[in-house]
Amino acid sequence: MKIINLTPHSINFVDASGAPLVTIEPSGQLARVTAKTVNTGEVTVGDVTLPVTGTSYGTVEGLPAPEEGTIYVVSSLVASRVPGRLDVFIPNESVRDDSGRIIGCKSLGYI
């Protein structure tokens, strides 16, 4: 099985104790969802007025067509936009260090 990491980050898979199993490096190709920011109002706090915005998500870009024997690892946002793709996975079951930083994951998952 070929795994292609379409995120900008290395994905470290670890066992239940946190010991490293394998790292999947970024492929250099990114799968992303288009986004548009829209002003929806403003909020005033003391003497400062802050804009309030909303984000409208669009289409997925950079996700290759399915290929026999290949799976793609993407962000949760990308995966949520292609629910029928059984070859698209997310890093799942995050493992954190004592400071709360993600150091790896235990599995691949679906949205």
Identify the sign of the CA torsion 7, 13, 19, 20: negative
The position carrying tokens 């109002």 is 41
HSE (CB half, 13 Å, CA atoms) of 42? 8
Tens digit of each residue's pLDDT (9 = 90 or more) over 60-105: 999 999 999 999 999 999 999 999 999 999 999 999 989 999 999 9
Written as six digits, the tokens of 34 are 């288009």
Residue 12 Rama label (left phi>0; alpha psi -120 to 50; beta)? beta
**pTM of the model as a whole:** 0.87
Residue 16 predicted with pLDDT over 90: no
